[in-house]
Amino acid sequence: MTDSTRHTASEMLAILSARQLREGQVVFAGIGVPLLAATLAQRLRCPGLTILFEGGVIGAFVEPGKLPPSTNDQRCTKRANMVLGSAEVLLLLQRGYVDIGFMGGAQIDKYGNLNSSFIGDSDNPKIRLPGTGGGNDISSLTNMIVAMKHEKRRFVDHVDFITSPGFIRGGNSRAESGLPEGGMFRVITELAVFSFDDTSRLMKVLALNPGITREQVQDNTGFDLIFDDQLSVTEPPTEHELTTLRMLDPDRLFIA
């Protein structure tokens, strides 16, 4: 898609996610849209953004056209600040050095719990998924941004398994479960941007994407949504954002 006024759902996810990041933050990014979003933010607005990979890279600076297929790929290390073992990187989470965790999942529920383990019954799952990796550590110890396609089968009332905890059962249940810090910060989809209610911790629509209605968002969600009193509309992707994003991923590995 070469017309800069048009964009794919994945491009929308990457651009809206990049806008959530701030200068000076330390971001633990997964591969795919999370990495694209962090790299895009680093290029456009946040040159001091530090990107961490589970494979041990600290301060990654991804070259255009050389997006790594996994967090253990060695091209992640070029121009990086440091390369450690996975355990040392995860220890940075425990010590409070990481601001934002950034990943996706197969399912998310009304309290922001993520499932990337299996679909169906645990004894006889319909689908086996990649599993946790460092997902539980990241979501337990940081403020989370989740970027994922918006489908009713993904946005469910209760996930089949909590791989990465959000606000667990809502209210104070996260802190009561031993996780006093962090939680879900934003969920980004091609339909809307979501936050979570400060008291109930239920998912809340913060902004609709251009051309999207409340009914469309609710119809594609498997639970009742809260809509923010100051509900807004997101700014569409700019030509500069799209051009930079496509320069980073010229083969369209992640933005197709």
Active site residues: 54
**AA identity, residue 184:** M
- Strand, coil or helix: 35: helix
Place of tokens 């990465």: 164
Residue 145: name the closest of 237, 42, 14, 245 by CA.
14
Nearest-5° angle of CA 45, CA 244, CA 6?
115
In sequence order, the 6+-apart residues with CB closer than 8 A to the CB of 200 are: 170, 171
Q: How many CB atoms lie within 10 A of CB 31?
A: 22
